[in-house]
Structures are given as C-alpha cells and as structure tokens.
Structure 1
C-alpha cells in the first residue's frame, strides 16, 4: 500500500492531480491533502473526487490513472 495525496491547486485544465508519496512532483505540504493509503491509484483518485470533482492521476507516479 502507498500513501496518496491530492494537489489542492488545480492544473491549467482544472484537474487536481493525485500523487503517490515519494513522487518528484508531489506538491508542498501546504498545497496537498492527504488521501490516505491505497493499493492503487484508481481508489486514490476516487477518494480525491469526493473533494474535487475533477481529479486525475499524476502522469509520472500514477500513470495508470492519468487520463488528461
């Protein structure tokens, strides 16, 4: 299981990116929300969508969940 975070700041396209702990692109602590531990990025993105309607996996650390 890995710890996942969502960026509180939206990207230019409106997506709030979901990152796995240790990602090179993990937002600063003040700009991320802890989503908890998940076995896959799909479940983490689902959790992020409870707060942000438009959430997407990070291209680099959650590529399987990156759709835009």
Structure 2
C-alpha cells in the first residue's frame, strides 16, 4: 500500500500536490515541506485526507500520482 504526503507549499495555481513517497521521479518536495498523510489503498483516499487536514485544493501530482491529477 503506498505511503503519501502533501506538499505544504501551494503551487502557483493554488493546488497542494499529493505525492507517493516511493516515487523515483524527482518530484517529491523537500522533507521540510512534506506532511505525511499515511498509507492508502488508492490516491483518492490520500487526496481526501489532505483535504480533511485543511489542504482543500489538494490534487495528485501529475508525475507520481497521475490517477488523481485533475488540473
């Protein structure tokens, strides 16, 4: 089951990207900018958790979580 984090810094469009911590694509935020979300069976659960934690414009990373990338 993948372990996810959210970037605590918003992108220029206001999105907070959710990342798979096992990614090797060089898209992960620096450790100081990550909020660990935990393990989820699917990225939709991780995005929902990020929104529950206050990152209401959470979106999957286009590179490591493309199934939940909507913009």
TM-score by length of 1: 0.95
Take 1:39 and 1:32, find their aligned partners in 2: how far apart are those partners?
20
Give the secondary-structure state (helix, strand or coil) at the position aligned to 2:28: coil
Which 5+ residue runs of structure 2 have no aligned equivalent?
A: none
Which 5+ residue runs of structure 1 have no aligned equivalent?
A: none
Q: Is 1:43 aligned to 2:45, yes or no?
A: yes
Take 1:40 and 1:21, find their aligned partners in 2: how far apart are those partners?
13
Say which of 41, 53, 59 aligns to 1:56.
59
Equivalent residue for 1:66?
69
Query: Once superposed, which parts of structure 1, at least 4 consecutive aligned residues long, lie more than 6 Å away?
Result: none
Give the root-mean-square deviation of aligned CA atoms: 0.7
Equivalent residue for 1:4?
4
Point out the structure with the larger strand share.
1
Equivalent residue for 2:29?
27
